[in-house]
């Protein structure tokens, strides 16, 4: 399966049991988060030593309510703590990865 070209295409893949292994790690991590599998998403993100990995890691800790840890990871990513909802942030992250 190819990389989705839009968030709508990404959403359509959520009916599958797993993301395609050919997808970038960032997109796989976001797919797991969108499916509600925080642990699987975190396992991928914590091994990504990139700004996007830090950003996904931040989003995950924000989702669990650990703002202190999330703020650390947003700083690592060079981004401010978001003011948008978690859902909107997830959409923004997916769009950034597939752009």
Flag whether 53 is in a domain. yes
pLDDT digits over 14-57, tens only? Answer: 999 999 999 999 999 999 999 999 999 999 999 999 999 999 99
Q: Is residue 2 part of a domain?
A: no
Considering its fold, how many domains does the chain have in total? Answer: 1
Say what the pLDDT of residue 97 is: 97
The residue segments making up the domain with residue 34 are 7-98
The per-residue pLDDT for 1 is 73
Domain contains 52: yes
Claim: this prediction has a pTM higher than 0.75:
yes
Average per-residue pLDDT for the chain? 96
Distances (CA, A) of 66 to 6, 42, 58: 30, 13, 9
Maximum CA pair distance of the chain?
37
- Asked if the structure places residue 70 within a domain, the reply is yes
Answer whether residue 1 is part of any domain.
no
């Amino acid at each position: 399966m190819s990389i989705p070209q839009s968030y709508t295409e990404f959403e359509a893949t959520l009916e599958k049991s797993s993301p395609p292994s050919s997808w970038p790690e960032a997109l796989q991590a976001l797919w797991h988060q969108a499916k509600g599998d925080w642990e699987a998403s975190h396992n991928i993100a914590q091994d990504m030593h990139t700004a996007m990995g830090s950003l996904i890691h931040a989003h995950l800790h924000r989702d669990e309510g650990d703002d202190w840890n999330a703020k650390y990871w947003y700083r690592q990513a060079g981004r401010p703590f978001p003011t948008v909802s978690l859902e909107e942030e997830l959409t923004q992250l997916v769009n950034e990865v597939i752009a």
